[in-house]
A and B are shown apart, each in its own frame.
Chain A
Amino acid sequence: MILPPAIRKAALVAHVVSSVGWLGTVVVFLVLAVAGVTSDDEPTVRAAYLATDLAATYAVVPFAFAAVATGLVQSLGTHWGLVRHYWVVVKLVVSIAALAVLLLQLDSIRLLGAAAARGPLAPGDLATARASLVLHAAGGVVVLLVPTVLSVYRPRGLTRYGRRPAAA
């Protein structure tokens, strides 16, 4: 079903805002995660992990779901379709993979947030989880640039489904 132009524009605005919001919140998350690993100031470390927990729960995850949902609306509600163009398919796969990794990271994020809420964190405490946050957030920033670039450049290429005649 092709959306009317006015709704299509509004949906596009929602998709751009949520997608850029997702990338932006992950950048902030990365800054906090790096501060948690590198800072010598104990209150800063605790604040960083309390903030990553809050940021993930109330910003990163909502933006991520919104970006994927509005992307689906954009695909299905326009002539682009969901599986007609390779760039749309790749963008969808990358976004869903990034969302899945984010959801799998929530355990570590919550663990660190709870530990920071309980009391001081020494430099070696939960070192693997802390390193994991940095690694996955950095990877997330790189991965989320892919959908952004694809949306702007829209590289050529029709899938087998997209090459079929419209009436088929």
Chain B
Amino acid sequence: MFSPIVHRMHYPGPFHLRLGGVLPYYELVFETYGELNADCSNAVLICHALNGSHHAAGAYPDAPHKRGWWDTMIGPGKPVDTNWFFVVCANNLGGCFGTTGPMSTNPQTGKAYGPDFPAVTVEDWVHTQAHLADFLEIKCFAAVMGGSLGGMQALAWSYLYPSRVAHCVIVASAAKLSAQNIAFNEAARCAITSDANFYAGRFYDYGVVPTQGLRLARMIGHITYLSDHAMAERFGRRRSYSLEEPRRSKGFGIAALEEGQQAPLGCAENAKTPDYTQAIDTQFAIESYLQHQGEKFSRYFDANTYLLITRALDYFDPALGFKNDLSLALKPAKSDFLVISFTTDWRFAPKCSRDIVEALLVNGANVTYAEIHAPHGHDAFLLDDVQYLSVVSSWFKRIIV
């Protein structure tokens, strides 16, 4: 079995964050796959999205069903081929999977940071990832790659550390969020902060978790990751009747891959159709699916981390300091770019990717852009669409040559 190796890096600090916060020190937990070659030229950095973690690919020996969130993409013989590349993925600063974050102890108070954890930005993450590269003695990544929020980090790498990233792969991402996108994030944040168990972010002190808020936040997010078509196809107006193990879902990456488990979808196609005029508590399959996703998420994700990360998403706007001219912001970039979007993605629509491409074209950068016809919405970036994987695979073969 293909197993990742989990590591930890201690950065002595102090680390000054972009929005003014200071951390006396921090720790990053990260996974590696494959072997770093002698001249350290085969390293690929994977950047995770909102609810991802450092567990990007493979499975731990003691939990073989928990495949990494981008297991379709990374592994031996896969598009990012670990027979050739040394792949690194770290849990971002402020995260809740072992990296220093709101759940960690604040050395000044001896209690969890909670809401006192300083605001982080995409650029801060990139700087911590650069510290990680120093730690691993990687002078230049062969590629930095990410989807969604991860794509923002890959983009930021290209202009913050132009000489340290040879190729940059940006999938289903944007150079800034739209008002609608920020609106979804705000609704999710309000769901969390209005939970009675949130205690202004100090819920750890009370031994509770704002479960309801997290569930709702996750449900809102999840709706936006799927296309109308994909939802109709998978759930339609079917009604759920049990939470028994269903057949493996091919259509829902975030659900299926994030925790690595086969997600009980709570629906059965040939179930006897209940008469919902008789029983008002009868659920539609989509309801049980969302509730299951929300419930699962609330068990492993930290509420303060969710607030921090969605803020980082909202704030990202490299063109802001350049009179909104993205091409000026990207001027320092020297990498070759691969930009990918999905036709049915309405959370990070193709237009957002085209804006990045346009800015790169103005700069005369080496850029390839693929617009994948996939029906699944934003979720498609985690799935195994043939054209998508073949584009990435051909691109990475080019890096090897």
Do A and B come from the same complex?
Answer: no
- B binding-site residues for A, Cβ under 8 Å: none
- A binding-site residues for B, Cβ under 8 Å: none
